[in-house]
């Protein structure tokens, strides 16, 4: 894979893990993409490990650049940090900060915060120090550099150029302690390691402010919450090792003996079971180092303050609390951010239109809600909409549109909700392969015009298997002329191609070559030998669509008549093939409702008599006079065409005529049931497939496409076997979901109607149009 592609780093990491995975698990090597470190205690240890790494790289045919290699060093710069003698310091790029020019716009400020935020672990209270700077990065706020921003800018430069030294984490450290503390204002935790309890050194520090609900917790519960939150944050460092939690709440020492904990405490206790830890009490006077973090006014997690300066939002979001995550996402969405800014300005500073625009909105703890019918519903920013819909649909039984909407509307609101949810459900793969659309089915009737002469157009199909007859026959090949409805029956021992060709040749020897032959997609008809036979004899062979017997309805309808007659005639099932001539004779001498003549009469021009009867004796003539068969065939053809027109009118009234597909569209196709499994629980559709060809008679050529554009699987399908697939990326879903929709959900329309227009409440001298950023909310 070439460098520069988005997924190139991930692919390279996967390759390095395959090549050096065993050595990494043994602790021989550590690597990040192409930066490889081989830790060693002495020169001999290093040589042995280097040899093993070289052997692994050689097996993978990977080469090294000697100018980028260093051996036997005691200090190195790695991922922006300086590592020396088990200590961690800011790397060389820290020198840039000392003389960093004052940012002149938001873009330059974000670059500065991204640089300083990378070293936030070295700065206590980084969030509070950088708060004036991060405030300037909010969307739609005017750029105004004040003394507060200048002071924060200079303080960050000064602290980082003399940053404290952190100890490198060591999973084999003799002593590992986690110090926690909590107050109504915030939580804090520190990861400490050392050889003894008296030689502990800071490895990592975390802190966060409490929510309004958390601030009312009892002190013991709050201290326990601090432990749980800190351990979850530091889980990558603590999982699998034994450590001690140090707290100034003596009641928590006896946590394991609590037999009647409240449900919330019990759930927290369950989270702690994966850690191998002891809880140790230490008086508050000896916990001042961590106590200060928790009691600092307005303390927040350092990660939260710099998240807007980082491009990799997914990494930041995993380190945030739920409330912080929600608040962040609303601030990141331009629409919700502007509404929040209007609400924060105060009612006196709002324009008349802004007052009406935010009439139904309110802020609770910095989170935007909308009041609908007395219920406060969370305003979902665009990045969170897909997740909300997934929870309400994909994780709630894949209910239909209205049920999914009602579930979402219980707690959430966002504009054009119905259209967005409708687009999501339309692209849900689980619904796609398991649900069959209701209403009128697509596909009009396209009758096959009758031939202009007998046996010009014939239909062919296999029937069976039956019980093996005395002659060894198990199948029946049925041939019918679509003009005269004349039927020919050929017993067969198998459905192999050669057997079908022999039977067809018997027909040709007696009646001549047909112009057109219509069959299903049985393997004997799709084989190369059968195709070669038709091509050699100038027969146009038409294959109907898969699993759509209506396309060969002429022979299918004949089979429905044929089977009961054969069952009655063949009392002994081993002699069924000996009764075929009688059945064939009876069918061909029975008047057709479509042609109003018997097939025999249309071929030979008269109706034969086979049995002596009173009616024949009373007739006076004994037999019908011969007629002109050509005239009869013309009349029969007219009768067939009239019947087809009438049938098409009745059929099309019950069909959906508006559904059609174009080449390139994505569809799903009805699949054949899997033998040996319950058909009730099998997936009903296969897909998504791409339409690669449009054929006559509402028939399409569809294929499953590979990444290189080649066809993995291709077949022909009738429109009634297909349904549209709308699989979109998130950006496309947002774009289409935000469009206008005539069938917008009732509650959204109602809530939008409740927002008065400026013209209705304020007399203005000129016509004003609402700003584009609020068009979805009013």
DSSP for 633-675, please give it: HHHHHHHHHHHHHHHHHHHHTTEE-S----TT-EEEEE-PPPT
- The pLDDT, as a whole number, for residue 260 is 53
Using the predicted structure, report yes or no on whether residue 745 has a pLDDT greater than 50: no
Most confident of 245-254, 664-673, 705-714: 664-673
Please compute the mean of the pLDDT values over residues 638-661 and round it to a whole number: 79
Mapped onto helix, strand or coil, the DSSP state of residue 692 is strand
Query: Which residues lie across from 281 on neighbouring strands?
Result: 247
Kindly report, residue by residue over 476-500, the tens digit of the pLDDT: 999 999 889 999 999 999 999 999 9
Q: Residues 6 or more apart from 343 whose CB is under 8 A from it?
A: 358, 361, 362, 363, 368
Structure tokens at 243: 């450590």
Kindly state the average pLDDT of the residues 22-48: 85
| Rounded alpha-carbon distances, angstroms, from residue 662 to 14, 444, 774 | 40, 17, 37
Would the pTM of this model clear 0.85, i.e. be above it?
no
Cβ atoms of 335 and 756 closer than 8 Å: no
What is the distance between the alpha carbons of residues 491 and 578, in angstroms, rounded to a whole number? 9
pLDDT score at 474:
92
Number of Cβ within 10 Å of residue 81's Cβ equals 20
Pairing of strands 186-194, 201-209: antiparallel
Q: What 3-state class would DSSP assign to 368?
A: strand
Between 740 and 267, residue with greater pLDDT: 267
Question: How far is residue 119's CA from residue 312's CA, in Å, rounded to a whole number?
Answer: 16
DSSP labels, 424-479:
HHHT-HHHHHH----SSEE----PPPPPSSTTSEEEEEEE------TT---EEEEE
Average pLDDT of the chain, as a whole number? 77
Please give the DSSP secondary-structure letter assigned to residue 534.
H
Angle at 541 between CA 539 and CA 546, to 5 degrees: 170
Task: Quickly name the fold that domain 658-725 has.
Answer: SH3 type barrels. (2.30.30)
Range among 61-70, 256-265, 320-329, 612-621 with highest mean pLDDT value: 61-70
Which pLDDT value is given to residue 481?
92
Instruction: Output 223 or 713, whichever has higher pLDDT.
Output: 223
Q: What is the pLDDT of residue 337?
A: 83
* 277 backbone dihedrals φ, ψ, rounded to 5°: -145, 160
Model pLDDT, residue 305: 31
The fold of 321-427+734-761 is: Endonuclease III; domain 1 (1.10.340)
d(C-alpha 429, C-alpha 662), whole Å: 21
Phi, psi of 215 (to 5 degrees): -65, -15
Q: How far is CA 609 from the centre of its chain?
A: 69
Among 307, 319, 144, which residue's Cα sits nearest to residue 229? 319
Indicate the pLDDT class of residue 427, thresholds 50, 70 and 90.
confident
Most confident by average pLDDT, 166-170, 209-213, 312-316: 209-213
By the 8 A CB rule, do 659 and 442 touch?
yes
Per-residue pLDDT at 522: 86
| Cβ atoms 417, 745 nearer than 8 A | yes
Please choose, from the candidates 774, 741, 771, the residue with its C-alpha nearest in 3D space to the C-alpha of residue 361: 774
pLDDT the model gives residue 767: 53
In the predicted structure, residue 306 carries a pLDDT above the cut 50: no
Q: Which residue has the higher pLDDT, 643 or 90?
A: 643
Question: Do residues 687 and 661 make contact, with C-beta atoms less than 8 angstroms apart?
Answer: no
Predicted pLDDT at 503: 92
* Short-list 486, 531, 533, CA closest to 511: 486
Q: Which CATH architecture has domain 90-161?
A: 2-Layer Sandwich (3.30)
pLDDT at 530 over 90: yes
* SS3 label, residue 36: strand
Extract the tokens encoding 771.
Answer: 């700003």
**Residues 394-425: tens digit of each pLDDT:** 888 888 888 899 889 888 888 888 988 888 88
From 428, 437, 439, select the one nearest 687 (Cα to Cα). Answer: 428
Q: Which residues contact 202 (CB under 8 A, 6 or more apart)?
A: 164, 166, 167, 190, 191, 192
Question: pLDDT class for 91, splitting at 50, 70, 90?
Answer: low
**d(C-alpha 214, C-alpha 229), whole Å:** 12
Contact status, residue 206 vs residue 298, Cβ threshold 8 Å: no
Residue 92, judged by CB atoms within 10 A of its CB (0-12, 13-18, 19+), counts as: exposed
Residue 746 vs residue 38, higher pLDDT: 38
| pLDDT digit string, tens, across residues 102-156 | 888 888 888 888 777 766 666 655 666 777 888 888 777 788 888 888 888 888 8
- How far apart (Å, rounded) are the C-alpha atoms in residues 16 and 521? 50
E runs forming strands in 559-625? none
**Does 640 score more than 50 pLDDT?**
yes
Q: Which residues contact 70 (CB under 8 A, 6 or more apart)?
A: 76
Using pLDDT thresholds of 50, 70 and 90, give the confidence band for residue 325.
Answer: low
Q: Measuring CA to CA, which residue among 206, 178, 180, 208 is closest to residue 193? A: 178
In terms of CATH, what superfamily is 457-638?
Ribonuclease H-like superfamily/Ribonuclease H (3.30.420.10)
Report the pLDDT value the prediction gives residue 476, as an integer from 0 to 100.
92
Cα-Cα-Cα-Cα dihedral of 336, 340, 342, 344, to 10°?
180
- Spatial distance between the Cα atoms of 235 and 204, rounded to a whole number of angstroms: 12
* Percent of the chain topping pLDDT 70: 77
Residue 456 confidence class, pLDDT cut points 50, 70, 90? very high
3-state secondary structure of 555: helix
Q: Which of 674, 670, 692 is nearest to 682 (CA)?
A: 674
Bridge partners, residue 182, by sequence: 187
Segment 175-186, tens digit of pLDDT = 899 888 887 777
DSSP β-ladder status, 87-90 and 166-167: antiparallel
Enter the DSSP assignment of 624: P
Kind of pairing between the strands at 457-463 and 516-519: parallel
Burial class (CB in 10 A: 0-12, 13-18, 19+), 156: buried
Q: Tell me the C-alpha distance between 435 and 669, whole Å.
A: 12
Please identify which residue in the block is written with the tokens 């490889």: 36
Q: Which residues are registered as beta bridge partners of 693?
A: 701
What's the full length of the chain, in residues? 778
Output the six-digit token pair for 593: 């409702």
Q: For the residues 504-508, what does the mean pLDDT come to?
A: 93
- Give the Cα separation of 466 and 442 in Å (integer): 35
- Among 22, 55, 50, CA closest to 36: 50
So what CATH class is 169-306?
Answer: alpha beta
Residue linked to tokens 């006077």: 285
Q: Check if the beta carbon of residue 281 is closer than 8 Å to that of residue 250.
A: yes
| Residue-level pLDDT at 308 | 32
Nearest to 127 by CA among 298, 344, 311: 298
446 touches 696 (CB < 8 A): yes
Three-state secondary structure of 37-87: ECCCCCHHHHHHHHHHHHHHHHHCCCCCCHHHCCCCCCEEEECCEEEECCE
């Amino acid at each position: 894979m070439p460098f520069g592609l988005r997924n190139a780093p991930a692919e390279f990491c996967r390759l390095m893990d395959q090549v050096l995975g065993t050595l990494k698990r043994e602790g021989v090597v550590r690597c990040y993409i192409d930066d490889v470190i081989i830790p060693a205690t002495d020169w001999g240890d290093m040589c042995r490990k280097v040899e093993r790494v070289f052997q692994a790289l050689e097996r993978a045919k990977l080469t090294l650049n000697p100018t980028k290699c260093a051996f036997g060093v005691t200090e190195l710069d790695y991922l922006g940090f300086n590592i020396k003698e088990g200590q961690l310091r800011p790397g060389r790029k820290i020198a840039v900060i000392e003389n960093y020019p004052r940012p002149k716009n938001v873009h330059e400020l974000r670059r500065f915060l991204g640089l300083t935020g990378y070293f936030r672990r070295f700065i206590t209270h980084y969030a509070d120090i950088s708060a004036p700077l991060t405030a300037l990065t909010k969307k739609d706020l005017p750029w105004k550099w004040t003394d507060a921003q200048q002071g924060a800018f200079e303080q960050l430069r000064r602290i980082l150029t003399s940053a404290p030294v952190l100890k490198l984490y060591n999973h084999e450290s003799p002593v590992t302690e986690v110090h926690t503390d909590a107050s109504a204002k915030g939580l804090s935790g520190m990861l400490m390691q050392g050889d003894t309890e008296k030689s502990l050194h800071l490895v990592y520090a975390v802190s966060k402010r409490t929510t309004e609900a958390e601030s009312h917790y009892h002190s013991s519960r709050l201290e326990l919450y601090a432990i749980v939150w800190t351990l979850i944050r530091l889980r990558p460092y603590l999982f699998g090792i034994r450590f001690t939690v140090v707290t100034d709440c003596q009641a928590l020492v006896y946590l394991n003996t609590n037999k009647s904990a409240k449900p919330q405490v019990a759930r927290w206790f369950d989270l702690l079971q994966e850690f191998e830890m002891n809880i140790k009490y230490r008086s508050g006077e000896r916990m001042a180092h961590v106590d200060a973090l928790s009691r600092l006014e307005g303390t927040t997690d350092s990660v939260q303050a710099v998240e807007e300066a980082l491009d990799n939002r997914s990494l930041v979001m995993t380190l945030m609390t739920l409330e912080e995550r929600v608040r962040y996402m609303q601030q990141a969405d331009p629409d919700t951010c502007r509404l929040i800014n209007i609400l924060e300005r105060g009612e006196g500073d709002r324009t008349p239109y802004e007052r009406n625009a935010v009439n139904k909105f309110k802020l609770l703890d910095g989170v935007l809600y909308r009041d609908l019918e007395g219920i406060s519903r969370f305003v979902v920013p665009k990045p969170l909409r897909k997740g909300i819909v997934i929870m309400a649909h994909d994780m709630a039984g894949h209910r239909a549109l209205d049920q999914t909407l009602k579930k979402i509307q219980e707690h959430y609101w966002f504009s054009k909700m119905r259209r967005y949810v409708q687009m999501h459900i339309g692209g849900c793969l689980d619904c796609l392969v398991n649900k069959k659309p209701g209403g009128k089915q697509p596909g009009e009737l396209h009758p096959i015009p009758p031939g202009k002469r007998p046996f010009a157009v014939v239909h062919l199909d296999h029937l069976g298997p039956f019980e093996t007859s005395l002659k060894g026959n198990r199948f029946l090949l049925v041939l019918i002329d679509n003009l005269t409805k004349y039927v020919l029956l050929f017993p067969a021992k198998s459905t192999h191609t050669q057997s079908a060709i022999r039977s067809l040749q018997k027909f040709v020897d007696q009646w001549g070559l047909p112009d057109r032959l219509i069959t299903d997609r049985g393997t004997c008809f799709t084989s190369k030998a059968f195709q070669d036979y038709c091509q050699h004899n100038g027969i146009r062979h038409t294959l109907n669509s898969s699993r759509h017997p209506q396309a060969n309805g002429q022979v299918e309808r004949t089979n429905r008549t044929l089977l009961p007659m054969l069952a009655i005639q063949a009392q002994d099932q081993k002699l069924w093939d000996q009764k075929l001539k009688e059945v064939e004779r009876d069918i061909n001498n029975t008047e057709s409702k479509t042609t109003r003549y018997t097939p025999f009469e249309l071929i030979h021009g008269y109706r034969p008599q086979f049995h002596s009867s009173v009616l024949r004796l009373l007739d006076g003539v004994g037999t019908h006079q011969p007629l002109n068969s050509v005239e009869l065939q013309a009349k029969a053809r007219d009768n067939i065409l009239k019947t087809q027109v009438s049938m098409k009118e009745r059929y099309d009234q019950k069909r959906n005529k508006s559904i059609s597909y174009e080449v390139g569209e994505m569809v799903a196709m009805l699949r054949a049931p899997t033998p040996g499994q319950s058909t009730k629980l099998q997936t009903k559709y296969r897909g998504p497939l791409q339409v690669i060809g449009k054929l006559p008679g509402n028939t399409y050529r569809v294929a499953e496409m590979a990444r290189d554009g080649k066809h993995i699987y291709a077949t022909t399908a009738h429109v009634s076997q297909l349904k549209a697939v709308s699989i979109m990326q998130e950006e496309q879903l947002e774009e289409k979901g935000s469009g206008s929709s005539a069938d917008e959900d009732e509650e959204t329309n109602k809530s939008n109607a409740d927002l008065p227009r400026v013209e209705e409440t304020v007399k203005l001298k000129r016509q004003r149009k609402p700003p584009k950023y609020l068009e979805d909310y009013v």
